[in-house]
């Protein structure tokens, strides 16, 4: 049985989708970085990012194929290895299940338990 801390709001899907992350920095105008997702769900994504961000930072995420933009906030920054880019978990400020243009598994599907 999953604990409440392990319950997800939506199914995660491993997907490499091209995105651009934009930060509006009053001191330096606009900072932008093209990257890709590692994992997506209806509420956000996990992506490698060289840009320095902190939990709570507000950013704009642009889907490079559809050109759609959504406001996001940084949830978590995980530095795994010295040679790899930090992985950044981001959440949409409002749920956007159609932003990724993919079909998510039905809610009643169980995730594989290891």
Sequence ranges of the domains in the chain? 11-92
pLDDT of the chain, 114 residues: tens digit per residue? 444 444 455 677 888 999 999 998 777 778 899 999 999 998 999 999 999 999 999 999 999 999 999 999 999 999 877 778 999 999 999 988 899 988 766 666 665 555
Of 77, 113, 106, 114, the residue nearest 10 (C-alpha):
106
* Separation between Cα atoms, residue 9 and residue 22, nearest integer Å: 25
What CATH number has the domain spanning 11-92?
2.40.10.220
pTM: 0.80
């Amino acid at each position: 049985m999953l604990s409440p801390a392990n319950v997800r709001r939506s199914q995660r899907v491993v997907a490499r989708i091209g995105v651009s992350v934009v930060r509006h920095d009053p001191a330096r105008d606009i900072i932008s970085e093209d990257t890709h997702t590692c994992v997506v769900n209806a509420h956000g994504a996990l992506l490698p990012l060289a840009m320095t961000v902190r939990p709570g930072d507000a950013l704009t995420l642009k889907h490079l194929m559809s050109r759609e933009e959504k406001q996001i906030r940084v949830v978590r920054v995980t530095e795994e290895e010295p040679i790899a880019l930090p992985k950044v978990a981001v959440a949409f400020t409002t749920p956007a299940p159609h932003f990724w243009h993919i079909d998510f598994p039905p809610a009643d599907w169980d995730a594989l338990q290891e």
